[in-house]
Amino acid sequence: MPVVDLAVSSKRDLNAALHALPANTNETHWHIANPDGAHALAAGVDAPVTIEIDGHAGYYCAGMNSQATIVVNGNVGVGVAENMMSGRVHVKGDASQAAGATAHGGLLVIDGNASARCGISMKGVDIVVKGSIGPMSAFMAQAGNLVVLGDAGEALGDSLYETRIFVRGAVKSLGADCIEKDLRPEHEEILAKLLHEAGVEGVSPTEFRRYGSARGLYNFHVDNASAY
């Protein structure tokens, strides 16, 4: 089990080693000590390994992740798991802005809160936030599911495309073209699966409300001009 202490070795060497891992590597569980808020930690990994970061990470932790399971035993800065393709990123603390931005796949779990623009332009990722999310979350979100156990800030789902948003707590306000929709059995199924995968117990899918796109801005119309 490789342990990389960033107090003595460099982030560049760490990321280079992670990128060089072959698909069948037997170095499958990495520990990173003393991350000290460094940026782009474990960014661009493309191997089925587990990487545990023991401490706080800076911007773009696990950026563009493919296949890997990345666990942060701390908080993360802006853009955790941005543009993730697959795999799993689990933040045990809080996340800053733009968590899971533009991510295409995989699962992002945040045990604490996520700041503004959580899930912005998400393109297929599933995001589960156990705390609350900040304003302008899921702005222009295209696909995937955003699940929030706490509250959501202002302008949730502004200019939303096809992402499904599930919020258990209060929503401060909905953004342009985002509306509440019925929570049907197929949505409860999706929720149950994601809650299970995120390790949430004792919470029923029926406690959530679903929000989605009214699809009113999908084709430009002059009478909608004030919404743009």
Quick one: which of 31, 104, 181, 209 contacts other proteins (CB under 8 A)? 104
Distance CA 163, CA 145 (A): 6
- Residue 181 binds other proteins (CB under 8 A): no
Tell me the window of 2-10, 22-30, 100-108, 193-201 that interacts with other proteins (CB under 8 A).
Answer: 100-108
Q: Using the structure block, give the residue that is written with the tokens 């996340």.
A: 95
- Residue 67 binds other proteins (CB under 8 A): no
Measured from the CB of residue 202, what is the shortest distance to other proteins in angstroms? 33
Quick one: which of 9, 50, 66, 73 contacts other proteins (CB under 8 A)? 66
Can you say how many angstroms the Cα of residue 113 is from the centroid of all Cα atoms in its chain?
11
Q: How many residues bind other proteins (CB under 8 A)?
A: 43
Q: Which two tokens stand for residue 106?
A: 């995989």
Amino acid at 12: R
Quick one: which of 56, 88, 117, 210 contacts other proteins (CB under 8 A)? 117
Render 85-141 in DSSP notation, one character per residue: -SSEEEESS-B-TTTTTT--SSEEEESS-B-TTTTTT-EEEEEEESS-B-TTTTTT-
Asked whether 154 and 138 are in contact (CB, 8 A), the reply is no
Quick one: which of 162, 189, 197, 207 contacts other proteins (CB under 8 A)? 162
Asked whether 66 and 83 are in contact (CB, 8 A), the reply is no
Q: What is the DSSP letter of 82?
A: T
Tell me the window of 28-36, 81-89, 168-176, 195-203 that interacts with other proteins (CB under 8 A).
Answer: 81-89
Measured from the CB of residue 204, what is the shortest distance to other proteins in angstroms? 30
Asked whether 41 and 53 are in contact (CB, 8 A), the reply is yes
Give residues in contact with other proteins (CB under 8 A): 11-12, 15-16, 19, 39-40, 43-44, 46, 58-60, 63-64, 66, 78-79, 82-83, 85, 97-98, 101-102, 104, 117, 120-121, 123-124, 139-140, 142-143, 159, 161-162, 218-220, 222, 225
